[in-house]
């Protein structure tokens, strides 16, 4: 059945092939698969399916090395979302996905549609979304490009909020970093979590020859055509011209589609369902057929469209949002249409599952695409490249902390602490999360602002905890260690919240993998992530790869964001970062070191990005987390907070500030023989500050000792609205907690409120 | 007691309201009422939940106010039946003419999601009898258009006739500009109609049913209703 060129289609030339992001070698492979020259439509299909975004050309061989299995993993990588068993007959689906490129040119819609896409990935598994998280990176808010950064930041936050708030899914946690490395190429990673009964799990499979294939939801328009290919190239000055490739989201339709899809899945009238996400109808239909080992035959003129005159090429590659592809049971089409109609949505039969294994598309009966399905999905060429570390990175790692000249102001460590609390990366993100509805669905036990979010599972005494983490600067300085740290920190945050870490979804944000130094970052960080996931028994159940994150000035920091989900086995174990009561003892689990490499302190106070990422011992981390969980479960722990950016001093200050109206003071005495800057602000890994009733301190220390975890009582919680005092051998932090709180909470608002970007973005949704 | 929770397309707090009735009030039954229908299923009270009915298109609540079920809700309210609108439900009640005034964009031009302090000004059936005048409640708000607005004559009348039920306040119960984040006229968070059977409020009592989630101060709202409807 040879496909025919349509009248008016462009001739396939080497230039056209190159425009589609395909190399001459890849094009030769296409010629071999087809045994002829592809039609223009077929070229578009290959271009999308073999893009980095869909085909994982450069990452697949590396991803294969990640651990993906555990007894509680019900669905690993390869589906719309990963699924784990959380006990009590319940399962949790979760996944993370990037919308970096769209957000760089159109922050509001780029971020909004990122949320929409990840929600659909979760509810197409049969799970009702119960929480959203996000991980964001922007350039320097105070830098020369500050106006642009504020525009992107304000737009992304509003886009995420408006979409999730409208659909009614609480946004419960996230992280935001500001660094020049992300200037012009922000990162927007959205994660969603859904809950279902185990037996409600459904997959994106096209099974059953003769079963009808149905398009459901919004009508297809010309928006977002080639979004997947756009996302697979570097951003440039011309990227702005690609704004039309950014899709437009409609959360109201998403909400209807969510309810209709869950009703559909539970109705028994369908065998498979999948989001029409990146590369739209093409990727959803080919992937469903590939999973089912079947073929599909689609009549393109049956697809409901928004406008006249759309070509098969456009319909296949459109990324119009809020659409689903459904494989119904033969003869049940009217039931499907009935359910969708109840929610005022369209459903139309557009094709049929075949036994030919071929991907066939017709236009008024005339074949315009005819490709063997298996090679289209699976023969996407993959590349294992040779990574080479950039010599300047090795040089940075050799930086010697003893050469650091302290600034005069640093003689008062209180000045340094104030400076760090005012750094946007460390400062409170309240300005962000107050724009997100975090309490809808009435299950948010711990919302934004603690180490991890905790969501109760209604009808049980359990909860799940979730977090997203990655320090890209560590990965930049040492990709292997940086990868390990991202996983270790995520697991530590869950343990601090009282949860046992269970599984990971990862979002690999990197530069252009064709550059050996970027490929090195990718392969080495994945090696670190794999080893850490193995150590913490948190297999990777899926994720997303976003490469070509570059702007004219170079690549972003390598940023493999780790989304992690854990289980709190009893609601009584839920623990937060904030100190609870005056007089409680403060216990440090883990050891202080003299490390300063890669720290926020070096960057903010000295303008330096240098040194090695902090050392990490996976065994030590696991022992720490095991001890912490044991102490929490025994009821000894009132608060737990890990030491991350800004080190021990910032961790202590955050827990003091977070202690509710006016905060709580602290009185801490650190005996370590270390330079004050490293002791207070160094970012040694594997440390958690715990507060406990003094009657329980000995027991907490004993549990730590039994697991071989260094521990010490370092002080106690002071009075409400008291002073934050941290004494060291080289100077003392001493300030009223209220003063520190004001700095911490005002750092972002004072940089945002009343700026042009803030006002403009705030008005945006009015004119939609 | 049987309470109807209306589901409009885009409602997203219908489930939370349903659970609050079902779990929060001993022996209560909650039923969903579908926006396209005309049957109130013999309920004793109606809740219009929060969310983004019809995507907030046109104006918040404007399209929902004209949906088929609202004709029945109006008749039910006119006959004295208890009706409460929470968040988007409050917006719908204003659009439907069951309550005066309107909810416009927050003064900050941003969505505001946080726990708010509310001062109780009227402690009467059917919705607030379980509280005492002057009680300070902690109840979450989550809205982009929660700034209550009305002309001065209307506001004067609301105050003169005791129809302001809740105002935003600080932890000590002082009604301050700082506490009134969305910029509502005179700090108003909730009002009732002249007959007292229709209440609208922006904060979400159904999200404050359990200390585990931060506050159980909303439970009084549902207990009041149950007390009002209990057979005497």
Which residues of chain A are at the B interface, by a Cβ-Cβ cutoff of 8 Å? 158, 161-162, 165-168, 250-253, 255-256, 343-344, 433-445, 456, 458, 571, 661, 759, 762-763, 765-766
**pLDDT number for residue A767:** 40
Q: Which of chain A's residues have a Cβ under 8 Å away from the Cβ of B113?
A: 165, 433-439
Residue B64, chain A, CB below 8 Å: the answer is no
List residues of B with catalytic annotation: 87, 204, 206
**pLDDT number for residue A272:** 92
Among residues A688, A685, A679, A682, the alpha carbon closest in space to that of A711 is found at A688
Instruction: Read off the pLDDT band of B232 (50, 70, 90).
Output: low
CB pairs under 8 A between A and B: 94
pLDDT, mean over chain A: 94
- A318 pLDDT more than 50: yes
- What HEC string does B27-76 produce? CCEEEEEECCCCCCCCCCEEEECCECHHHHCCCCCCCHHHCHHHHHHHHH
Strand B102-104 relative to strand B147-149: parallel, antiparallel, unpaired? antiparallel
How many folded domains does chain B comprise?
1
**pLDDT number for residue A229:** 65
Q: Which of chain A's residues have a Cβ under 8 Å away from the Cβ of B55?
A: 166, 250-253
Which strands sit side by side in the sheet containing A73-75, from one edge to the other?
A73-75, A82-87, A90-98, A187-197, A128-138, A171-178
Q: pTM of the entire structure? A: 0.96
The residue that leads in pLDDT, A190 or A200, is: A190
Q: Which of chain A's residues have a Cβ under 8 Å away from the Cβ of B144?
A: 162, 165, 765
Query: Where is average pLDDT lowest: A270-274, A611-615, A640-644?
Result: A270-274
pLDDT digits (tens, 9 = 90+) for A35-71: 999 999 999 999 988 988 778 888 999 999 999 999 9
Residue B109, chain A, CB below 8 Å: the answer is yes
Q: Which of chain A's residues have a Cβ under 8 Å away from the Cβ of B147?
A: none
The residue that leads in pLDDT, A21 or A587, is: A587
Query: Are A563 and A467 contacting, i.e. CB atoms less than 8 angstroms apart?
Result: yes
**pLDDT number for residue A207:** 87
Q: What's the CATH code of the domain at B88?
A: 3.40.50.880
**Closest approach of B218 to chain A, Cα-based (Å):** 12
Residue B132, chain A, CB below 8 Å: the answer is no
* Element housing A174 (H / E): strand A171-178
* Element housing B116 (H / E): strand B112-120
Please tell me which residue of chain A has the smallest CA distance to B16: A441
* Element housing B160 (H / E): helix B152-160
pLDDT digits (tens, 9 = 90+) for A263-273: 999 999 999 99
Instruction: Read off the pLDDT band of A237 (50, 70, 90).
Output: low
Q: Which of chain A's residues have a Cβ under 8 Å away from the Cβ of B112?
A: 434-435
Active site residue A101: no
Q: How far from A451 is each of A466, A498, B29, CA to CA, in Å?
A: 9, 10, 38
Residue B10, chain A, CB below 8 Å: the answer is yes
Q: How far from A654 is each of A3, A555, A676, A681, B231, CA to CA, in Å?
A: 64, 32, 19, 13, 52
Residue A670, number of CB atoms within 10 A of its CB: 23
**pLDDT number for residue B12:** 97
pLDDT digits (tens, 9 = 90+) for A421-433: 999 999 999 999 9
Angstrom distance (rounded) from CA B176 to CA B174: 6
**pLDDT number for residue B168:** 98
**pLDDT number for residue A230:** 64
**pLDDT number for residue A363:** 95
Query: Where is average pLDDT lowest: A544-558, A571-585, A710-724, B42-56?
Result: A544-558
Q: What is the mean pLDDT of residues A505-513?
A: 97
Query: Are A261 and A270 contacting, i.e. CB atoms less than 8 angstroms apart?
Result: no
Q: Which two tokens stand for residue A356?
A: 């030919």
Q: What is the mean pLDDT of residues A441-469?
A: 97
User: Which domain range does residue B45 map to?
Assistant: 2-229
**pLDDT number for residue A167:** 98
């Amino acid at each position: 059945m040879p496909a025919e060129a349509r009248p008016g289609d462009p001739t396939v030339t080497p230039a056209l092939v190159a425009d589609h992001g395909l190399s001459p070698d890849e094009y030769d492979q296409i010629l071999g698969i087809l045994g002829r020259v592809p039609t223009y439509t077929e070229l578009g299909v290959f271009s999308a399916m073999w893009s980095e975004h869909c085909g994982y050309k450069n990452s697949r061989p590396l991803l294969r090395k990640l651990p993906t299995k555990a007894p509680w993993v019900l669905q690993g990588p390869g589906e719309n979302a990963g699924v784990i068993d959380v006990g009590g007959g319940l399962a949790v689906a979760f996944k993370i996905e990037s919308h970096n490129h769209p957000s760089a040119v159109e922050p509001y819609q780029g971020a909004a549609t990122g949320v929409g896409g990840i929600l659909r990935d979760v509810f197409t598994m049969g799970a009702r979304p119960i929480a959203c998280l996000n991980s964001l990176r922007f350039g320097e808010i105070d830098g020369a490009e500050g106006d642009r950064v504020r525009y992107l930041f304000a737009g992304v936050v509003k886009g995420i909020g408006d979409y999730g708030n409208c659909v009614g899914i609480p946004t419960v946690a996230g992280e935001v970093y500001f660094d020049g490395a992300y200037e012009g190429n922000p990162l927007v990673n959205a994660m969603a979590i859904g809950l279902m009964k185990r037996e409600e799990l459904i997959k994106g499979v096209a099974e059953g020859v003769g079963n009808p294939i149905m398009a459901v939801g919004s009508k297809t328009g010309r928006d977002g055509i080639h979004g997947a290919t756009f996302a697979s190239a570097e951003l440039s000055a011309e990227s702005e011209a690609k704004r039309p490739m950014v899709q437009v989201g409609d959360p109201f339709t998403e909400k209807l589609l969510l309810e209709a899809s869950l009703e559909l899945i539970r109705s028994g009238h369908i065998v498979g369902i999948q989001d029409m996400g990146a590369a739209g109808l093409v990727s959803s239909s080919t992937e469903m057929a590939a999973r089912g080992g079947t073929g599909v035959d689609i009549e393109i003129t049956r697809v409901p469209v928004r406008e006249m005159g759309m070509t098969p090429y456009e319909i296949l590659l459109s990324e119009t949002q809020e659409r689903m592809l459904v494989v119904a049971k033969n003869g049940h089409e009217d039931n499907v249409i009935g359910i969708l109609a109840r929610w005022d949505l369209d459903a139309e039969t557009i094709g049929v599952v075949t036994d030919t294994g071929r991907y066939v598309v017709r236009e008024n009966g005339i074949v315009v695409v005819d490709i063997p399905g298996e090679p289209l999905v699976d023969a996407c060429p993959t590349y294992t490249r040779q990574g080479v570390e950039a010599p300047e990175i090795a040089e940075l790692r050799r930086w010697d902390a003893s050469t650091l000249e302290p600034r005069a102001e640093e003689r008062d460590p209180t000045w340094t602490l104030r400076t760090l609390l005012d750094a946007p990366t460390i400062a409170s993100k309240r300005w962000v999360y107050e724009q997100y509805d975090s309490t809808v669905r009435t299950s948010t036990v711990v919302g934004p602002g603690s180490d991890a979010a905790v969501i109760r599972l209604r009808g049980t005494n359990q909860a799940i905890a979730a977090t997203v983490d990655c320090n890209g600067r560590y990965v930049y300085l040492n990709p292997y260690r940086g990868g390990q740290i991202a996983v270790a920190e995520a697991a530590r945050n869950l343990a601090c919240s009282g949860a046992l870490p269970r599984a990971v979804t990862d979002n690999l944000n990197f530069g252009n993998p064709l550059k050996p130094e970027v490929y090195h970052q990718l392969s080495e960080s994945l090696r670190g992530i794999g080893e850490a996931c193995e150590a913490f028994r948190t297999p990777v159940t899926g994720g997303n790869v976003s490469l070509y994150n570059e702007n004219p000035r170079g690549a972003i920091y390598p940023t493999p964001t780790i989304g992690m989900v854990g289980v709190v086995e009893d609601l009584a174990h839920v623990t937060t970062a904030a100190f609870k009561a005056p007089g409680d003892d403060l216990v440090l689990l883990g050891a202080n070191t003299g490390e300063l490499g890669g720290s926020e302190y070096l960057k903010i106070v000295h303008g330096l990005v240098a040194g090695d990422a902090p050392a990490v011992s996976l065994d030590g981390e696991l022992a720490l987390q095991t001890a912490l969980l044991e102490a929490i479960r025994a009821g000894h722990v009132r608060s737990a907070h890990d030491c991350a950016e800004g080190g021990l001093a910032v961790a202590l200050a955050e827990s003091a500030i977070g202690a509710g109206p006016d905060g709580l003071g602290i009185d801490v005495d650190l005996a370590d023989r270390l330079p004050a800057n490293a002791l207070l602000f160094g970012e040694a890994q594997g440390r958690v500050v715990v507060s406990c009733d003094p009657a329980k301190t000995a027991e907490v220390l004993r549990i730590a000792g039994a697991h071989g975890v260094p521990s010490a009582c370092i002080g106690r919680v002071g009075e409400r609205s008291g002073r934050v005092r941290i004494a060291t051998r080289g100077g003392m932090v001493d300030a009223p907690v209220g003063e520190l709180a004001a700095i911490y909470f005002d750092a972002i608002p004072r940089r945002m409120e009343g700026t042009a970007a803030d006002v403009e973005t705030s008005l945006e949704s009015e004119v939609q | 007691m049987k309470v109807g929770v209306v589901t409009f397309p885009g409602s997203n707090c219908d489930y939370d309201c349903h659970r609050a009735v079902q779990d929060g009030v001993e022996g209560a039954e909650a039923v969903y009422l579908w926006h396209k229908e005309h049957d109130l299923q013999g309920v004793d009270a109606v809740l219009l939940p929060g969310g983004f009915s019809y995507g907030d298109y046109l104006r918040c609540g404007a399209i929902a106010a004209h949906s088929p079920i609202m004709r029945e809700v109006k008749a039910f309210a006119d006959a004295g039946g208890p009706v409460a609108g929470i968040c988007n439900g409050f917006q719908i009640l204003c659009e439907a003419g069951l309550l005066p005034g309107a909810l416009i964009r927050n003064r900050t031009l941003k969505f505001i999601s946080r726990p708010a302090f509310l001062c109780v000004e009227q402690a009467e059936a059917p919705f607030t009898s379980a509280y005492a005048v002057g009680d300070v409640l902690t109840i979450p708000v989550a809205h982009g258009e929660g700034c209550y607005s009305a002309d001065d004559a209307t506001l004067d009348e609301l105050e003169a006739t005791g129809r302001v039920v809740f105002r935003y306040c600080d932890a000590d119960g002082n009604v301050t500009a700082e506490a009134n984040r969305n910029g509502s006229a005179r700090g108003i968070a909730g009002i009732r109609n002249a007959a007292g059977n229709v209440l609208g409020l922006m904060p979400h009592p159904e999200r404050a049913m359990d200390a585990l989630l931060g506050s159980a101060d909303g439970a009084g709202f549902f207990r009041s209703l149950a007390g009002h409807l209990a057979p005497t």
